[in-house]
Structures are given as structure tokens and as C-alpha cells.
Structure 1
Amino acid sequence: MPEQDKRDFEERYNACFVDFGLKIMTGLIIGSMLGGFFLRGYRKWPMYIGAGLGVGMAYSNCENSLNNFLLAMDPKICVIK
């Protein structure tokens, strides 16, 4: 059974921004390297595809992390009176 994450919402939200930055930069670098190696010239579209994949992965991780936190909360706390 995996250990439960003890971070609060703000820490998870800040981690999402760091994750977005790292995955976008990694996608840009890998896309430019693969585009330069396979296409033998400078093309921009592999960088855009790599950055898009990075954004998609970061969004998915962030959504999963925030949803796990929000769904684990006590529903009685969230009632609007």
C-alpha cells in the first residue's frame, strides 16, 4: 500500500508549477535534439511537439495530485451555508 502524501493544497499547487516548467524544458530539449538528429536541419515543429507532450504530462500529474487531495477531504467541511 503506498504511503499517503502529507502535503497541503498550497504545496501541491506550487509543485505543479515546478513540474510544468521542468517538463516543458525537457520536452523542448529532447524535441530539438531529436529534430536536429533525424531531420539534419533546424526545424521548430519537433520542439513544439516535445513541449506539448511535456505540458500534457504535467497537466495530468497536477490534476491527479490535486484531485487526490480534494477527494480525500472530509465532505462536511466543504458545505456552503
Structure 2
Amino acid sequence: MADEHGRKWDRCLADTAVKTVTGLGVGIVFSVLFFKRRTWPVSFGSGLGLGMGYANCQHDLRSPYLIHGRMVKDQ
């Protein structure tokens, strides 16, 4: 049980980090290309990424009976 909980936390932290950095990158690109180097697209993109990661973690930690990536066969 503790091992599964640890894996969920690792997956949550990695997912949140990837989404935040991706949102930050997209915000930088939009800031440079479309919004004359304003800072709000960078903040908005990183905030969206952080929020999506948080929502995914919340869903993952609240569903203890969900099996990720395993196939269960009836015998």
C-alpha cells in the first residue's frame, strides 16, 4: 500500500513538473511571437500547467482502486 502511494506521488510530481514547464515554454513562445514580450502569457501558461497537474494529482490520489497500465484477466 505504501509503495503504491509512493508511486502515485512520484507520478504526480513528474506530471506536474512536465505540465508546468510545458506551459511556461508555450507562454514564452506566445509572449515573444504575439504579445510583444509581455509577461502575462508566461504567468498564464505556467499557471495553467500547474493547475492541470494539481487536478490530475487530486484525481489520482482520490481513486485508490484505479489500476494504471495493468491488464486484469478473469479466470
The answer for the alignment partner of 1:55 in structure 2 is 50
State how far apart, in whole Å, the 1-side matches of 2:56 and 2:27 are. 21
Return structure 1 stretches of 4+ with deviation > 4 angstroms. Answer: none
Aligned-partner residue type, residue 45 of structure 1: W
Equivalent residue pairs, number: 63
Aligned-partner residue type, residue 14 of structure 1: D
CA RMSD of aligned residues (A): 1.3
Contiguous gaps of at least 5 residues in structure 1: 1-6, 73-81
Contiguous gaps of at least 5 residues in structure 2: 66-75
The sequence identity of aligned pairs, in percent, is: 33
Q: Pairwise mapping of residues 1-81 of structure 1 onto structure 2 (< 5 A)?
A: 8-39=4-35, 41-69=36-64, 72=65
1:16-54 Cα distance to aligned partner (Å, 9 max, x none): 111111011000000110121112x32211110000000
TM-score where L is the length of structure 1: 0.72
Larger Rg: 1
The answer for the alignment partner of 2:73 in structure 1 is none
